Amino acid sequence: MPYAPINGINLYYESHGEGPAVVFAHGAGGNHLSWWQQIPVFQRHFRCITFDHRAFGLSRDADGEEAKGRRGFHEDLRDLLDLLEIDTVRIVAQSMGGRTAVGFSLLNPGRCEAIAFCGTTGGAIDDDVREMQDEYRETEMGQLALGKKSVSPQMKERAAAAEFLYRSIGRLNPPRPKDFLAPLVGYRGSSAQRLGDSGMKILFLVGDHDAVTPPHIIEGCHRAVAGSQFALIKDSGHSTYFEQPDQFNDVVVEFLQSTL
């Protein structure tokens, strides 16, 4: 199995195909297996790097005080790419993976050509988006646990086997502290200006039934990042890559190819 001995841990990763490098950064309910519907398509055009974030899938965090948790995400990606001798990448970031993409790209200028933010704000929030987030958290749907809204209810009706597989992949992840992904108390920053000024190509993509990061919020992030693009995936909840892979693949491949 390919493990990268980096940043105090052994990080699991896979590499498929040849060409410009594309990194797939999974969300909190997934791991490297989540991209099974993407890699066979994307590897026709790109070298595809999948990996398990520390504390997910086959990767483990360090023990005790050495554990970095999510603070280590962007460093892990940097060190993995260094080990693989990959200078520049494009990133497909699902939900939690947006944190990795933002941290890596902004702290390592020039190494990231483009990011597809999928079901994630990428931290690109302004006061308008923050107000929309606060209002949404007060709604019945906004207060549901993440696991109950990670895919749309319609998915189980039209694709029961895929929905079962989605849940099964998530259950392969090891247990983590409950506050592993908790937002920093009092944080009011935004990546919007820096992303807009970075020169990277940015796509914000969201499902039309996303109950975790609703379309109106993601569209607000798109407006906050100058020069960014926006795409809406039809008949999909939060996990567009899993629920509507054909739509997702078409949109993201076309976006990435436009950045070459």
pLDDT at 7: 96
CATH assignment at residue 141: 3.40.50.1820
- Residue 256: which of 88, 47, 22 has the closest Cα? 22
170 sits in which H/E element: helix 160-171
**Contacting residues for 182 by C-beta, under 8 A, at least 6 apart:** none
Write out the residue range of the structural domain in which residue 34 sits.
3-258
Tokens 């937002």 belong to: 183
**What is the rounded distance in angstroms from the CA atom of residue 181 to the CA atom of residue 83?**
27
For residue 19, give both structure tokens.
């060409």
Instruction: Kindly calculate the radius of gyration of the chain based on its CA atoms and give it in whole angstroms.
Output: 17
**What is the rounded distance in angstroms from the CA atom of residue 249 to the CA atom of residue 247?**
6
Domain count within the chain: 1
For residue 95, give both structure tokens.
């939900």
pLDDT in tens, the chain (260 residues): 699 999 999 999 999 999 999 999 999 999 999 999 999 999 999 999 999 999 999 999 999 989 999 999 999 999 999 999 999 999 999 999 999 999 999 999 999 999 999 999 999 999 999 999 999 999 988 888 888 888 998 898 999 999 999 999 999 999 988 888 877 666 778 999 999 999 999 999 999 999 999 999 999 999 999 999 999 999 999 999 999 999 999 999 999 999 99
pLDDT at 179: 83
pLDDT at 147: 82
pLDDT at 183: 72
Q: Which amino acid is at 154?
A: Q
